[in-house]
Amino acid sequence: MDSGIGLLAAAAAVRRLRPDADLVLSLDPAGMPWGPRTPEDLTERALAVAEAAAARRPDALIVGCNSATVHALTTLRARFEPDLPVIGTVPAIKPAAAGGGPVAIWATPATTGSPYQRNLIREFARGVRVAEVPCPGLAEAVERAERTAIDEAVRAAAERTPEDVTTVVLGCTHYELVADRVRAAVQRPELPPLVLHGSAGAVAGQALRRIGARPAPEAPAEGTVTVLLNGQEGALPESALAYAEGRLLAQTAPVR
C-alpha cells in the first residue's frame, strides 16, 4: 500500500523473490501525495487504503511508503495485528551509516526532520555526519513520470547535499525508481563511487520472514497482480510503465 506508485519498488522486490506470489497493490490516487498532509490526515488515508487491501485477505501488509510508516505505522499495527502482519518501510540509515559516511538522507518534507527520522539517526548513525535533505516535489514528479520535473527536483536536492557525501539514503520509496538520476546528480568525480541505500529489498525480505516463507526466485512466474485504486479494481497508472519495476509487474495481467 502507498499513496501512489512508490510501492512499485517493494512490490517488484517481492516479485523477484517470489514470482509465484499473488500481489495486491492498493493505491490512493485521490489523496496523493501524502507527504504534505498532516499526520492525522495521512493516517486516515493510509487506514482507508490498508482496509481495501486487507479485504483481499493477504498474508502480510507492506506499508510501501516512508511517510506513512513515520506517521501511521502504530495505528495500522493496532488495527490489523496480530492477524495481519504489517511491515513498515524504514529509511536504510543503519546500513548507510555502517559505511562511515558522510551520509545524506533524501526524504519528503514530511519525513525530513521528523522525530521518527531523528531517532533513527541517533540510534544508528552515532559518530557519522548525516545531512537531512528535503526533496519537495520529487515524489510528485516521479508519480507523474515527468522527466523534466524529476530532473529539476533531483538537481535542487543535489544542490542541498554536502559535496563530500559518499552515501545517500533514499528515504522515500518513489526515489528508488529514479536512483540512477540521483546517482548522476550527486556523484562527484573526485570521490569514490556514490553508494545508494533503498529499502525495497529489505522490506520484501522481512515480509517473507514474517509469514514464514522462503525466497524462491526460480519458482514459476504464476503470481497474479490486483490493482486497487481507492478501493476499486483498476490498472496500474500509465506512469508506472516508465519504470523498470512497473514494467516487471505489468507482465502479469491484473486480476479482474
- Residues noted as catalytic: 65, 172
Nearby residues of 147 by Cβ (< 8 Å), 6 or more positions away: none
Tally of residues, the chain:
256
d(CA 226, CA 103): 37
Environment class of 201 (CB within 10 Å of its CB; exposed 0-12, middle 13-18, buried 19+): middle
d(CA 241, CA 106): 24
Strands 23-27 and 103-107: unpaired
What type of residue is 197? H
Contact between 243 and 213 under an 8 Å Cβ cutoff? The reply is no
User: Hey, what's the cell of 58?
Assistant: 493477504
Nearby residues of 61 by Cβ (< 8 Å), 6 or more positions away: 1, 50, 53, 54, 76, 80, 84, 85, 86, 87
The CA-to-CA distance between both ends of the chain, in Å, stands at 19
Please report how the helices 66-80 and 39-54 are oriented relative to each other, as an axis angle in degrees rounded to 10. Answer: 60
